[in-house]
């Protein structure tokens, strides 16, 4: 999916690297190095999403976000911030950010999160609806999963993992995203928890034969083809 992105970041090296990688992924990237320029750009152009650093010269990221939301501009915003300043996270989400990611961050992580944000905006999943990816169906309301029509018994954590992959079918879901969504953790344990539990989901999905439906994207995360 090619997106028109506004990257608001004052670190030239980061801008160069991230910008290039995002372009390599097929996105159009406009760069703004401070908040005022970003606000002007939002008015002039139609962007699909904004990647917003918090610490900016002139007008800082939170102010940009607040101004956008005050003016009822619903542009999806992914906030970037430095680690060790948890207050920013709360403030950022309160100010109307769609998601939040701590630097250093890879283009793959940003891409995955943007996909999830945009998908979340498009989808209006009713409670009680079943979700489908390939031959896998999950029903979050009933806490049940099926593969090829046959029920699959999963633990709570395994079920939450599979649901997250199905919800984002065809998109990469990163390890950090899964840790946040499934476990509610904002830290990455030394143990590769996601891998350990994905392995169990896989073996349960393949208990009745069939191919491994979960694609591993090395160093990034997982993807379940639709």
Partner 1 sequence: MKGLRSLRALTAAFLLAFIAATALTGLLVYRATHDAVRELVDRRIATVASEVGALAARTDRAGVSRALEAMMRDRDTGDLGLLLTDANSRVLTGNIRLNRPLPEGFTTVDKGLGVKGLSGGRALVRPVGDGLILTVVAETEPFDDYSDARRRIYLFGFGSIILIVVAGVATFGTIIGRRIVAMRRTVEAIIDGDMQSRVPVDGSDSAFDQQARAFNAMLDRIARLMEEVRNVSNDIAHDLRTPLSRLRARLAKTVGMAGEEGSELEAALGDCDQLLAMFTAILRIAEIEGGARRAGFEPVDLATLAGHVVETMAPAAEDNGHRLEAGEQRAASVPGDRRLLAQAVINLVENAIRHTPPGSLIRLSLRPEGAEGVALVVEDDGPGIPPELHGQVLRRFGRLDRSRATGGHGLGLPLVEAITRLHGGTMRLEDAAPGLRVVLRLPLAG
Span interacting with partner 1, options 69-77, 113-121, 151-159, 162-170, rule CB under 8 A:
151-159
Q: What length is written for the chain?
A: 226
Among 90, 125, 215, 226, binds partner 1 (CB under 8 A): 90
**Tokens 């160069």, located at residue:** 16
- What does the alpha-carbon distance between residue 152 and residue 154 come to, in Å, rounded to a whole number? 6
Span interacting with partner 1, options 7-15, 61-69, 132-140, 142-150, rule CB under 8 A:
7-15
The conformation of residue 128, written as its DSSP 8-state character, comes to: T
Q: Counting contacts by CB under 8 A, is residue 43 touching partner 1?
A: no
Give the CA dihedral 81, 86, 89, 92, nearest 10 degrees. -90
Distance in Å, CB of 122 to partner 1, minimum: 29
Span interacting with partner 1, options 28-36, 144-152, 178-186, 207-215, rule CB under 8 A:
178-186
Which is closer to partner 1, CB of 47 or CB of 159?
159
Which is closer to partner 1, CB of 48 or CB of 180?
180
Q: Counting contacts by CB under 8 A, is residue 17 touching partner 1?
A: yes
Number of residues that bind partner 1 (CB under 8 A): 34
Provide CB contacts within 8 A for 134, sequence distance 6+: 169, 213, 224, 225, 226
Sign of the Cα torsion 209, 214, 215, 219 reads negative
Distance in Å, CB of 47 to partner 1, minimum: 25
Among 45, 71, 135, 186, binds partner 1 (CB under 8 A): 186
Task: Provide the CA 109 distance to its chain's centre, in angstroms.
Answer: 7
Residues 202-221, interacting with partner 1 (CB under 8 A) = 218-219
Give the CA dihedral 121, 122, 123, 126, nearest 10 degrees. 80
Span interacting with partner 1, options 34-42, 129-137, 192-200, 204-212, rule CB under 8 A:
192-200
> Do 36 and 62 touch, CB atoms closer than 8 A?
no
């Amino acid at each position: 999916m090619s997106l028109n992105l506004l990257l608001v970041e004052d670190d030239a090296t980061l801008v160069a690297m991230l910008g290039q990688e995002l372009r390599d992924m097929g996105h159009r990237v406009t760069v703004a190095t401070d908040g005022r320029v970003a606000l002007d750009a939002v008015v002039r152009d139609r962007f699909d999403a904004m990647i917003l650093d918090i610490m900016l010269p002139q007008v800082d990221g939170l102010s940009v976000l607040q101004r956008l939301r005050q003016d009822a501009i619903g542009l999806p915003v992914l906030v970037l911030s430095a680690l060790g300043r948890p207050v920013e996270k709360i403030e950022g989400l309160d100010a109307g950010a769609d998601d939040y990611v701590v630097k250093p961050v890879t283009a793959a992580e940003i891409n995955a999160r943007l996909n999830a944000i945009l998908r979340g905006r498009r989808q209006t999943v009713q409670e009680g609806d079943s979700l489908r990816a390939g031959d896998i169906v999950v029903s979050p309301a009933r806490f049940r999963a099926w593969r090829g029509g046959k029920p699959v018994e999963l633990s709570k954590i395994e079920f939450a993992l599979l649901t997250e992959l199905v919800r984002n079918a065809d998109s990469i879901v990163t390890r950090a995203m899964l840790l946040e969504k499934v476990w509610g953790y904002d830290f990455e344990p030394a143990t590769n928890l996601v891998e350990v539990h994905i392995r169990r989901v896989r073996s349960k999905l393949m208990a009745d034969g069939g191919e491994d439906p979960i694609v591993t994207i090395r160093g990034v995360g997982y993807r379940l083809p639709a």
